[in-house]
């Protein structure tokens, strides 16, 4: 099999595009896709300050590398979730990569910020760890971006992530989520930073290939809480269809974006600032503060929740000027 660009021996084939590339041409193809997605959706401009959420896995590392190579002003943010060995190893990978490439990395411990780790929060509130984790991550990404004046929060969600989420939302007719699912979430409030997913047309396999070809030191481990989540079942099902009919995942998600108006939100909820931490919410108290309230309810020594206008866990005001 030959590379369709330079006719050298191909190393990776992409049946969804009826294409095959050698290592060098694949790297170019990957970065071209990233840049095209950024420009097509006007996710951010070269002068914007980008906060990239990194987990230590292949997807965020591939995006990290691609954004650096494309010349964007990118700062990575790693959240230590407190998931024992998994978090420790992931954090080490991020630190090593940032050091090797001499690029900025913010390192935030969920335990230091909120007083509890993700497993502790999940246990105390009797909620699924993945649901707690997603909520806390969104909260801290936005807060960090606001505090440090970043223009956009970027994540490494790829085509498989988006197609699996779409399938899950359709199977359960989550019309609210369907209305919000898109590669670029614009800012609708001064306290909400816009969010972008430049990998949304690239498969997990393409991200893995890019990471291997570039020799990126990503973490191969899987979060112990994520092993039995329904997302993986949806991904496997979609890959089964993809194998029989290449291009299905891309057509599925792009078709959804084309027909997105079918899932318009009825009435956007009014946004306000959380009375405890100042982050944007639709309720008087934001979902993370409510989660913390519940988790700390049995801790009689903890008085941090009673201080108005401060972060419930750290006791300090998380937003300048509020």
Partner 1 sequence: MKVILRGPERREIEVAGGRTLSQIARDLNLNPEAHIFVRDKTILTRDEFIGDNDVIEVFPAISGG
Neighbours of 82 (CB within 10 A): 19
CB-nearer residue toward partner 1: 182 or 248: 248
**Residue ranges in contact with partner 1 by CB under 8 A:** 1, 10-13, 15, 20, 23, 57-59, 130, 133, 160, 203-205, 207-209, 212-213, 220-223, 225-227, 229, 231-232, 235-236, 239-240, 242-243
We find the least distance from the C-beta atom of residue 190 to partner 1, in angstroms, to be 30
Of 303, 295, 317, 248, the closest CA to residue 118 belongs to 295
Question: CA 259, CA 262: separation in Å to the nearest integer?
Answer: 6
CB nearer to partner 1: give 213 or 280.
213
Q: Which is nearer to partner 1, 45 or 241 (CB)?
A: 241
List the one residue out of 156, 166, 256, 252 whose CA is nearest residue 206. 156
From 58, 62, 144, select the one nearest 107 (Cα to Cα). 144
Q: Among residues 211 and 280, whose Cβ is nearest to partner 1? A: 211
Q: How far is the CB of 81 from partner 1 (least distance, A)?
A: 10
Nearer to partner 1, 128 or 297 (CB): 128
| 248 and 241 Cβ atoms separated by less than 8 Å | yes
102 Ramachandran zone, left/alpha/beta (phi>0; psi -120 to 50): left
Dist. CA 40–CA 112, nearest whole Å:
38
Nearer Cβ to partner 1 (101/240) = 240
Q: Which two tokens stand for residue 19?
A: 């294409």
Return the axis-axis angle of helices 159-171 and 204-213, rounded to nearest 10°: 160
Q: How far is the CB of 270 from partner 1 (least distance, A)?
A: 31
Q: Do residues 151 and 50 touch, judged by C-beta distance below 8 A?
A: yes
Minimum distance from residue 213 beta carbon to partner 1 (Å): 7
Q: Which is nearer to partner 1, 34 or 280 (CB)?
A: 34
Q: Where are the beta strands (DSSP E) in 97-218?
A: 105-109, 152-154, 184-185, 194-196
Kindly state the smallest distance separating residue 287's Cβ from partner 1, in Å.
19
**Least distance to partner 1, CB of residue 106, Å:** 20
Long-range CB pairs of 184-187, under 8 A, 24+ apart, other chains included: 184/41, 184/42, 184/43
Q: How far is the CB of 89 from partner 1 (least distance, A)?
A: 11
Residue number with CB closer to partner 1 (239 or 311): 239
Strands 12-14, 272-273: pairing is unpaired
CB of 283 to partner 1, least distance (A): 26
């Amino acid at each position: 099999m030959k590379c369709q660009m330079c006719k050298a021996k191909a190393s990776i084939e992409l049946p969804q595009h009826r294409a095959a590339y050698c290592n060098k041409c694949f790297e170019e193809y990957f970065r071209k896709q990233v840049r095209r997605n950024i420009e097509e959706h006007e996710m951010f401009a070269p002068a914007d300050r980008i906060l990239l959420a990194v987990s230590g896995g292949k997807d965020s590392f591939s995006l990290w590398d691609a954004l650096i190579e494309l010349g964007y002003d990118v700062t990575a943010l790693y959240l230590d979730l407190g998931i024992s060995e998994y978090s420790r190893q992931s954090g080490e990978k991020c630190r090593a990569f940032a050091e090797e490439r001499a690029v900025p990395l913010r390192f935030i411990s969920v335990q230091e910020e909120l007083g509890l780790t993700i497993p502790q929060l999940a246990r105390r509130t009797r909620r699924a760890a993945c649901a707690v984790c997603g909520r806390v991550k969104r909260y801290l990404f936005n807060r960090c971006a606001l505090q440090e004046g970043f223009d956009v929060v970027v994540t490494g969600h790829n085509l498989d992530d988006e197609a699996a989420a779409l399938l899950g939302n359709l199977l359960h007719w989550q019309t609210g989520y369907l209305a919000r699912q898109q590669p670029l979430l614009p800012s609708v409030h001064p306290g909400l930073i816009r969010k972008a997913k430049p990998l949304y047309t690239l498969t997990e396999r393409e991200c893995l290939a890019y990471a291997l070809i570039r020799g990126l030191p990503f973490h191969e481990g899987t979060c112990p809480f994520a092993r039995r989540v329904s997302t993986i079942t949806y991904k496997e099902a979609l890959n089964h269809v993809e194998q029989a009919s290449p291009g299905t995942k891309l057509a599925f998600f792009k078709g959804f974006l084309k027909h997105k108006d079918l899932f318009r939100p009825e009435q956007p909820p009014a946004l306000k600032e959380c009375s405890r931490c100042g982050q944007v919410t639709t309720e008087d108290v934001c979902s993370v503060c409510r989660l913390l309230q519940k988790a700390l309810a049995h801790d009689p020594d903890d008085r941090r929740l009673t201080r108005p206008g401060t972060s419930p866990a750290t006791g300090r005001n998380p937003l300048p000027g509020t």
